[in-house]
Amino acid sequence: MATSLEISVNGKRHAVLYPPDTPLLVVLRDELGLTGTKYGCGEGQCGACTVLIGNMPRRSCQVPLSAAVSQPITTVEGLEQNGNLHPVQQAFLDAGAFQCAYCTSGMIMSSVALLRQTPNPSPAEIAKSLQGNICRCGTHPRVIEAVTRAATAIGQGRTR
């Protein structure tokens, strides 16, 4: 049965009427129109649907709506502020860390979460924490470079 639930996404509260077991991904995309978060597999294996719940990276295809009500949700659309890209977004841009870019939102969200937890990760730590994000185009070395650049940029004071 559809139930009215309130979620906070990118700093805005939304009342949504959905069955509580609906994947958060569906609500974000179909109800809120936040299509930056992608469907890739529906089993939490590819990472394309990664969002932050609190500071934790979560696969939104595996999170039921009812489990997303208590903490603020951040999607890729919520990173940019006042027209300024988040340092991780900027670093992906600067490193050209994409080809088709369908995985990019998820890669960026996982990387943002990593840098909040580990401000100066080694390449091995980056690889380990992005292990659940699939890139079929093979841009992995550039993604590692982008996250390393972002860590430096954040360390130099562009804190986020």
Partner 1 sequence: MSSAPHRFDSHAATGQPAIEPERYEFFSPPAHHFHLARRDFFKLLGAGVAVFASAKSAAASAQETPASSRGFHNENLPNDITAWLHVGEDGTVTAFTGKAEIGQNIRTELAQTVADELRVPFTSVRMVMADTALTPFDAGTFGSRTTPTMTPQLRRVANAARDIFINAAAKEWNVAPDTLQAAGAKITNPATGRSLTYAELARGKALAQNLPAEDPVTPPNEWTIAGKSIPKVDARAFVTGAHQFTPDMTRPGMLQGKVLRPPSFGATLISCDDSAAKALPGVVTVRDGDFVAVAAPTEHQAQQALAALRAQWKESPAQISNANLFPQVKQKASEKSDDRHRGEQGSVESALAAAQRRLDATYTVAFIAHAPLEPRAALAEWTRDANGEKLTVWTGTQRPFAVRDELAATFRVPDSSVRVIVPDTGSAYGGKHTSDAALEAARLARAANHPVRVVWTREEEFTWAYFRPAGVIEIKSAISPDGTLAAWEFHNYHSGASGIETPYVIPNQRTEFHPVNPPILRSGSYRGLAATANHFARESHIDDLVHTAGLDPFEFRMKNLKEQRLRSVLEAAAKSFGWPGKKAQAGQGFGLAVGNEKGSYVATCAEVTVDRASGSVKIVRLVEAFECGAIVNPDGLRNQVVGAMIQGLGGALFESIEFENGRITNARFSRYRVPRFSDVPEIEAVLLDRKDIPSAGAGETPIMAVAPAIGNAIFNAANVRLRSLPLIPRGLKA
Cα distance between residue 27 and residue 34, in whole Å: 9
Among the candidate windows 52-60, 66-74, 103-111, 112-120, which touches partner 1 by CB under 8 A? 103-111
Q: State the CB neighbour count (10 A cutoff) for residue 83.
A: 5
Among the candidate windows 52-60, 113-121, 126-134, 152-160, which touches partner 1 by CB under 8 A? 126-134
In whole angstroms, the minimum distance from the beta carbon of 121 to partner 1 comes to 12
Q: Which of 9, 57, 59, 98 binds partner 1 (CB under 8 A)?
A: 98
Binding mask 39-68 vs partner 1 (x if CB under 8 A, - otherwise)? xxxxx-xx-x--------------------
Q: Which of 14, 26, 64, 148 binds partner 1 (CB under 8 A)?
A: 26
The reply to whether 134 sits near partner 1 by the rule CB under 8 A is: yes
Q: Are 31 and 68 in contact (CB under 8 A)?
A: no
The reply to whether 105 sits near partner 1 by the rule CB under 8 A is: yes
Contacts of 15 (CB under 8 A, 6+ apart): 4, 5, 6
Distance from chain centroid for Cα 124: 20
Reference 128, options 57, 55, 74, 53; nearest CA is 57
Among the candidate windows 52-60, 89-97, 111-119, 148-156, which touches partner 1 by CB under 8 A? 89-97
Q: Are 75 and 53 in contact (CB under 8 A)?
A: no
Q: Which of 85, 116, 148, 160 binds partner 1 (CB under 8 A)?
A: 85
DSSP element (H, E) containing 59: strand 56-59
Query: Tokens 């992005």, residue?
Result: 130
Cα distance between residue 47 and residue 60, in whole Å: 9
Interface positions with partner 1 (CB under 8 A): 18-19, 22, 26, 29-30, 33-43, 45-46, 48, 75-77, 79-80, 85, 89-90, 92-93, 96, 98-105, 108, 126-128, 130-131, 133-144
